[in-house]
Structure 1
Amino acid sequence: MTGLDEPFPPPGVDLSHPNVARIYDYYLGGTTNWEIDRQFADQILEAYPIIRPIAHANRMFLHRVVRHLVKSGIRQFVDIGSGVPTMGHAHEVAEHLAPGEVKVVYVDYEPVAVAHSRRVLNKHGDPSRHTVIHADMRDPERLWSRVADTGLIDLSQPVAVLLIAVLHIQQPPAPGSGRTDDLGPCLVATYRDLLAPGSYLALSHVTDEGVPPGYPEMLADLKRLYDTSSSPVVFRNRKEIADLFGDFTLLEPGVTWTPLWHPEDASDGDRTAHLASPNESLLLAGVARK
């Protein structure tokens, strides 16, 4: 299934529930997913085939962000919630613009994503510049310490943190904490504080505000389906998404639909996402500088 020799899944991987990283991999045409993930995804795609081009539009946003920031001089990236390596990861995009210069640390909590990323990086990456760590974004200080421990990233210098299609997945408090709210906004605030001046934060996030007619009903149905899986979701409006950037300075054009963010940074090799209108992408996105 993976196209690689080592058996999958890695020991301890939960295949009793569909997983959002593996489902997303399937939407993008990847192979690091299992029957339980494909059954869940196929149920959604049968009802809402638009989900696949939405996923492609989001991945192409990631590609344009990396190109734009590399052109702006950024040479360090931390991709949190990076998922499995499908359709070009950040280091592959960066390598075309600045060969041998860009360092990338991928971070994920999903064992399959980490194991597969490690094998891909061992085969197609540069261990002196590219690595993956298994860490929980709900513990920012520990995650940041793990990033420092890799020895690849100088956290005293500007870094681009990527939170692409991550924050609409609810980040529940630890059991026994007494909290029931989604931790996403306060976690992002902590990551902003950890960043050195001159760093960047890039994110994309599903919204149910300003979408085409009929799409709020689709999103409500999708929320119901995901909430019954292991990955409940939360939708935010434009203001709530803009607030995630705090007092960072948003790059033009600000918070916008994924296809509208710097389309001039597209590459001839990028996949076209066939959407009737930008708001059909359902994800608002932006990049801001500290």
Structure 2
Amino acid sequence: MVDPEAQLPPIVDLTRPNDARVYDYLLGGAHNFAVDRDLAKQVVAAMPEVKQVALANRAFMHRVVRESVRAGVRQFLDLGSGIPGVGNVHEIAQSIDPTCRVAYVDSDPVVHAHGELILADSPNTALVNADLLDAADVLDRREVRDLLDFGQPVAVLGLLSLHFIQDHEDPDGALAVYRDAIPVGSLLALSHPAVDPAHEGNDAIDLFEQGYMVRPARRDLDRFRRMFDGFELLEPGITRLSQWRPDREGVEDVPVNGGLGIKSSTTTTGR
């Protein structure tokens, strides 16, 4: 068996933990190392909810992908994807229809190093090392253009990635560029830590603030809903992840919201 550590380029520092590999470990993945597992165990010991947040978000992604394929969508653009390890978008989509195509986008060079190895033998996939905020650049990348047909519906995914982008960085502007590039019938799925000033609904944000160096953006439900500008929310609208079309993947309720919207010819936008 080939040692995966030996295949990684020098840019991957195995002496320091990496957020994406810690997340992979929380999901039960195999693309992490002792230094990542040690940090993950410390975080879980201090904040047990963090693992449930990761698992709930992954289960939500599974349901979104399955619903997208059932709706006839065969193309996915996953923004801020993290390491495309076990149970990721291409595995779920292609288990239903092997012709599904998935482009992963992440700016972390460590994600790119691991992802290239993971996807080496995975057809109809690509990994783009780019900043999701630079939507024009992402859409113009050869890997994306060669893989995705923007004359056909595309499902754009932004799952637990936009809360690390502050409003002054204009995430809405980036989402508008993606929206304008995809045709009617395309989908947008987003998840975001919930902020509810009426009760203790800030736990997820608190978790992210303690676990990462970048301070997460706090967005209430109305602010999060505006990120779907140009899309018609599908039932049941924006809900806690565990309440969004629950199925056999029962997960604990966590303070994270999610939704799925469709771009329709009757949709109007404020941009």
TM-score bin (small chain): 0.7 to 0.9
- The amino acid that maps onto 1:75 is R
CA distance in 1, matches of 2:260, 2:206: 29
- 1:283 lines up with 2:256 in the alignment: yes
Match of 1:121? 119
Match of 1:204? 191
Match of 1:95? 94
Match of 2:236? 253
- The change in CA–CA distance for 1:238 and 1:17 in structure 2 (over 3 A counts) is farther
Secondary structure in structure 2 of the residue aligned to 1:222: helix
- 1:189 lines up with 2:183 in the alignment: no
Task: Report the RMSD for the aligned CA atoms in angstroms.
Answer: 2.7
CA distance in 2, matches of 1:38, 1:183: 34
CA distance in 1, matches of 2:26, 2:4: 23
- The amino acid that maps onto 1:188 is L
Higher relative contact order (Cα pairs below 8 Å, separated by 6+ residues):
1
- The change in CA–CA distance for 1:223 and 1:114 in structure 2 (over 3 A counts) is closer
Structure 2 contact 139–145 (Cα < 8 Å) conserved:
no
Match of 1:235? 218
Match of 1:67? 66
Secondary structure in structure 2 of the residue aligned to 1:259: helix
Structure 2 contact 79–104 (Cα < 8 Å) conserved:
yes
Alpha-carbon deviation of 1:157? 1.6
Match of 1:177? none
Q: Unmatched 5+ residue regions in structure 1?
A: 172-179
- 1:225 lines up with 2:214 in the alignment: no
From 111, 119, 122, give the equivalent of 2:109: 111
CA distance in 2, matches of 1:257, 1:222: 17
Note the alpha carbon deviations across 1:33-86, whole angstroms, 9 max, x for none: 355544543332112212112211110100011110101100111111111133
- The change in CA–CA distance for 1:115 and 1:220 in structure 2 (over 3 A counts) is closer
Alpha-carbon deviation of 1:24? 1.6
CA distance in 1, matches of 2:16, 2:172: 26
Note the alpha carbon deviations across 1:173-193, whole angstroms, 9 max, x for none: xxxxxxx92432322222222
CA distance in 1, matches of 2:204, 2:152: 40
